Amino acid sequence: MPEPVISAAGLRMSYGDLEAVRGIDLEVQPGEIFAFLGPNGAGKTTTVEIFEGYRRRTGGEVRVLGVDPQKATRQWRQRVGFVLQECRLTPELTVREAIAQYAGYYSAPRDVGETMSLVGLDEKADARTSTLSGGQQRRLDVALALVGDPELLFLDEPTTGFDPSARRQAWDVIGSMRELGKTVFLTTHYMDEAQVLADRAAIIVAGEIVAEGDPAELGSDGGPEAVISFRLPKGLSLAELPAPFSRAAKQGEALVSHASGDPLADLRVLIDWAQTRHVGLPSLEVRRPSLEDVFLELTQR
């Protein structure tokens, strides 16, 4: 087995009395896209900044590309690229100039034009960065991270605040990292992002990892088997439904949603009830729990 690109054991970080990260263990393998999920304030950015070498930890062991990031050297920085959560780029430079400036910092940079194409900004090559949309600025930021041709890429909430089409474009760019053979460590609070992009994901809540694994299977052990949902038939209230649906969560005006541990039995009860009462079950749906369901369940515990 190759050496992991990132490994952390018992990683801790406190700010005074506040323990932001409370003993994290994780490993990221070469070529993997790893999603680090969690609600705001869970310790995502603190963890990623420790990996990036920005922050000193208060406990535990960390190796990134075989080096303790607290002792980051220029050679190490040649191999690591990153997009920070918040960074406004120099407004006076054009897209091409901004990428060329960063290319100059690395010993073996990628071609500037090729890097621009990679993030889909060819048409904006000579536009000032200040004229770019939020999504385009973020993609330029990714280009700055890629131009040094790093082995490992950190992306801290790369699509926060994006409209849906900008997110899709950003996902295409991040997904293409796989073809380039890069290892990607991605933090996000969007479940769908992890599900679309990641090979593996870990969920951090209040400084601790509460679940880890294949995003498609996350939470399948011990979690709900399926989610049964339908619209509440007209004229009925939630309390009139059979158990366990009478206790189900109601989303919006009329959508009943039940995370079921035994979907076959629950469905039988529901269908028998509907047939006896001669009511329809509009928009009936049985689906595997999404990462979102798992996430909500884990973060609300």
Partner 1 sequence: MNLVLHQFRFDQKVFWRNPASVFFTVLLPLIFLFIFATIFGNEEIEERGVQTTTYYVPAIISLAVISATTVSLAINLTEDRERGLLKRVRGTPLPPTVFVAGRVGNALVISVLMVILVAILGRVVYDVSLPDQTIPAVLVTLAVGAFAFSCLGFALTAMIPSEDAAPAVTNAIMLPLYFVSGVFIPDSEIPPGVLQVADVFPVRHFFEAFFAAWDPNTTGSGLELGHLAIVAGWGVLGLLLALRFFRWEPRR
Binding site for partner 1 (CB under 8 A): 52-54, 74-75, 77-78, 80, 82, 84, 86-90, 92-93, 97, 101-102, 104-107, 144, 148
Q: Is the Cβ of residue 107 or residue 275 nearer to partner 1 in the bound state?
A: 107
Distance CA 161, CA 164 (A): 10
Residue 67 or 284: the one with the smaller Cβ distance to partner 1 is 67
- Three-state secondary structure readout of 36-98: EECCCCCCHHHHHHHHHCCCCCCEEEEEECCECHHHCCHHHHHCEEEECCCCCCCCCCEHHHH
Question: Is there a cis peptide before residue 244, judged by omega within 30 degrees of 0?
Answer: yes
Distance in Å, CB of 130 to partner 1, minimum: 10
Nearer to partner 1, 156 or 266 (CB): 156
Q: How near is the Cβ of 209 to partner 1 at its closest, in Å?
A: 25
Distance between CA atoms of residues 34 and 4, nearest Å: 12
Nearer to partner 1, 97 or 208 (CB): 97
Which of 161, 179, 178 shows the shortest CA–CA distance to 40?
161
Q: How far is the CB of 76 from partner 1 (least distance, A)?
A: 9
Give the tokens for residue 289: 């729990």
- Smallest separation (angstroms) from partner 1 to the CB of 161: 15
Q: Which 3-state string (H, E, C) describes 177-242? A: HHHCCCEEEEEECCHHHHHHHCCEEEEEECCEEEEEECCCCCCCCCCCCEEEEEECCCCCCHHHCC
Distance, C-alpha 292 to centroid of its chain: 11
Percent helix, strand and coil across the chain, each rounded to 5? 35, 25, 40
- In this structure, the chain runs to a length of 301
- Total Cβ atoms within 10 A of residue 73: 9
Pick between residue 53 and residue 158 the one whose CB is nearest to partner 1.
53
**Side chain identity at 98, as an amino acid letter?**
A
Q: Report the residue number, 84 or 196, with the smaller CB distance to partner 1.
A: 84
For residue 2, the minimal CB distance to partner 1 (Å) is 24
DSSP assignment, residue 151? S
Q: Are strands 6-15 and 59-64 parallel, antiparallel or unpaired?
A: antiparallel
Q: Which is nearer to partner 1, 37 or 98 (CB)?
A: 98
* Least distance to partner 1, CB of residue 104, Å: 4
Kindly state the smallest distance separating residue 79's Cβ from partner 1, in Å: 9
- CA-based nearest residue to 160, from 186, 121, 128, 196: 186
148 versus 219: smaller Cβ distance to partner 1? 148
CB of 108 to partner 1, least distance (A): 11
